[in-house]
Structure 1
Amino acid sequence: MRALLTALAAMFVAGSAGAAPPAQMELWRLDCGTAVVNDLDIFSDTFAYAGKTKRITDSCYLIRHGENYLLWDAGLPGALLGKTVNSGPFTMSLSTRIVDQLARIGVKPEQVTLVGISHRHDDHTGQLTDFAKATLFIGAGDFEAMKKGESAALIAPWTKTGAKLELLTGDKDVFGDGSVVMLATPGHTENHHSLLVRLPKTGPVLLTGDLYHFTENRTTRGVPSFNTSRADTLASMDRFEAIVKRLKAKVVIQHEPDDIAKLPAFPQSAQ
C-alpha cells in the first residue's frame, strides 16, 4: 500500500510540474465608431421609443491570450473615416481605424490571427478586410446572409482567397481552455454570438454583441423590430442573464456609451 501511495504521489508531482501555466491575458476596448439613432423606435417591437433619438457607441475589442490576438467585431467601415454619413435611421461617424489603434500598442494587423464576429451587420464587420489573413469565427447563418447581400465584399478573403474560416452554430471555445468563449445567443440575427472573457485579475467579462443595445434595452428585455426571431432573442437573454448570475460577470453592452468606462481607457487594458 505504501509503495502504491508513493507511486501515485510521484505521478501527481510529475503531472503538476509538467502543466503549462495559464496564458497571460489582456482585453482592450477599441473605438470603432459612433452613431445617432434618429428613430430609436426601431429598437422596440412594442413601440416603446416612438419619437426618441439616442447617441450610441460602436465598440470593438482586442484580446491577447499569450502570444495570440483575437479581434472581437470589426466596427464601422474604414471608408467612413473622418466623415459623418446619414444612412436610414442612423447618422454614423468614424474618427479612427482599428489598425491605427493597434499601432499605438505595438500590434500589427498580421499579428491578429483570429477574428470573432458577433453578427453580420455592417457596424460589426466594416473593417474585416484589414485582417484578411486571420481565421474568421462567425455564425453560419450570418455568413450565408452576408454572402447573398451587399456585405459580400467584406468577407471576400474567406469566400474567394481561401482564408481560414470556421462557421458556428453553437458555442466556440476559442483557445480551448475556457478563457474566451463565443456564446451562442441567436435572435438578433440567425447565429448571433456574445463573448465571455475570463480575465485573471478583472474576472469574467461578458461582451453582449447586439443581444442588448443600451441599458434600458436590457432592463426591459426589449426586442428590436428588425431581429430575426423574438422567441430566440428572449431565450438568449435568459441564457445570458443566467451566466451573468452564475459567474458574477461584468456585463459590457457594446453600443452603450455609459459602459465604455467599465473597462480601462485605451491604450490601457483590463487584465
Structure 2
Amino acid sequence: MTTSTSNPQRLYLMQVATMIIGPLEVPVPCYLIQTNNGKNILIDSGLPPAAQLPESGANQQRIEYKKNVIEQLAMIGVQPDDIDILICTHYDLDHAGNNSAFPKAQLVTQRMQHEVALAGHPRFISTRSQWDLPATRYQLIDGDLELLPGIDLIETSGHVPGHQAILVHLPETGPVLLAIDAVAMQAHFNPDRAVGPMDLDGASTIASTHKLLELVEKKHVNLVIFGHDGPQWSTLKQLPEYFA
C-alpha cells in the first residue's frame, strides 16, 4: 500500500538553452520532480557543451546557452549525486547530452529507444557516450508505466522509436502533462496535426498525439507543457519558481 509521502510535491522547469532556427526561438528544457519523501527525479539532461546544430540551407541556426542543468540544480541546492532517477525521454542531442553527469541516478528509458540506439541508429550516435552506460544503471520499460505514485510514463513513439512523455500529479496544480517531443508545439496538439521534419514516423507521431489528447480528457489534465514551444515557455514558471 502506497502512502502520500511518496507523491510529487514540486515540478521545476529549466530552460538550459535556446536554439535559434531562422526566425524561431526554440527552448531546450529539462525538468525536476521532487517528492514528499525526498526523491529528486530529473527528466532529461539538455545539450552537451559546445553542441552545434546541423546545417539547414538558408535558415541560420545557432545555440544560445543559458545556465546548464547542473548549474540550475545548484541554484536550489541539488547536486548531481542527489539525483535518484533520471528519466530519459529519448536520446536526441538536446535531451541526453549530460546523462553521465549524474553517476548515482537510475536511468529510466523505454526499451525500444535503448535498443534502437544500441543497434547503431545514426540519429543517436552523437550522444552515445551519454547513454551507452552499464546495463546495471538502467530500468528499461515496455510501454506505459506508473514509475512512482503520481508519476506516469507514457510511451509515445513517432518522434523517435520509444519516446516517452510524463504525467505528473501535483497536489495543487493537479495533473501536468510533459509532452516533450511527442508534441513539441501547442499548435500541433490536435487530431489533424502536421508532422515535423524531425519526426521519424509520421503515422506513429499522429497516433501518439491522439493518445495524449485522450489522456488529457480522461485524466482532466490542467496543464500541458510542450517540449519546444517558445511562446508558451515564456509564460511558464521556471526554476527557482516551481509548480506545486
Counterpart in 2 of 1:150? 126
The Cα of 1:72 is off from its aligned counterpart by 0.7
Q: Indicate the structure (1 or 2) with the bigger Cα radius of gyration.
A: 1
Q: Does 1:109 align with 2:92?
A: no
Instruction: Name the CA distance, whole Å, in 1 between partners of 2:197 and 2:82.
Output: 38
Q: Where does the alignment leave 5 or more consecutive residues of structure 1 unmatched?
A: 1-17, 39-52
Counterpart in 1 of 2:195? 223
* TM-score normalised according to structure 2 size: 0.86
Counterpart in 1 of 2:28? 58
The answer to whether the 8 Å contact 1:263/1:270 transfers is no
How many residues in Structure 1 have an aligned counterpart in Structure 2? 231
Counterpart in 2 of 1:265? 238
Letter in 2 for 1:107: V
The Cα of 1:262 is off from its aligned counterpart by 5.4
* TM-score normalised according to structure 1 size: 0.78
The answer to whether the 8 Å contact 2:189/2:213 transfers is no
Q: Does 1:164 align with 2:137?
A: yes
Structure 2 CA distance for partners of 1:240 and 1:104, relative to 1, 3 Å: same
The Cα of 1:36 is off from its aligned counterpart by 1.6
Larger helix fraction of residues:
1
Q: Deviations over 1:55-114 (max 9, x none)?
A: 11011100011211111111111345xxxx443234223221111111110111111010
Q: Does 1:23 align with 2:19?
A: no
Instruction: Name the CA distance, whole Å, in 2 between partners of 1:226 and 1:19.
Output: 40
Q: Deviations over 1:128-173 (max 9, x none)?
A: 11113211111223223433223211124x23xx552012220121
**SS at 1:102 equivalent:** helix
Q: Does 1:120 align with 2:87?
A: no
The Cα of 1:204 is off from its aligned counterpart by 0.5
Supply the RMSD in Å over aligned alpha carbons: 2.0
Structure 2 CA distance for partners of 1:169 and 1:21, relative to 1, 3 Å: closer
Letter in 2 for 1:63: I
User: Following superposition, which runs of at least 4 residues in structure 1 exceed 4 angstroms of deviation?
Assistant: none
**SS at 2:126 equivalent:** coil
The Cα of 1:238 is off from its aligned counterpart by 0.8
The answer to whether the 8 Å contact 1:132/1:163 transfers is no
Counterpart in 1 of 2:205? 233
Q: Where does the alignment leave 5 or more consecutive residues of structure 2 unmatched?
A: none
Q: Percent identity?
A: 25
Structure 2 CA distance for partners of 1:263 and 1:203, relative to 1, 3 Å: farther
Counterpart in 2 of 1:11? none
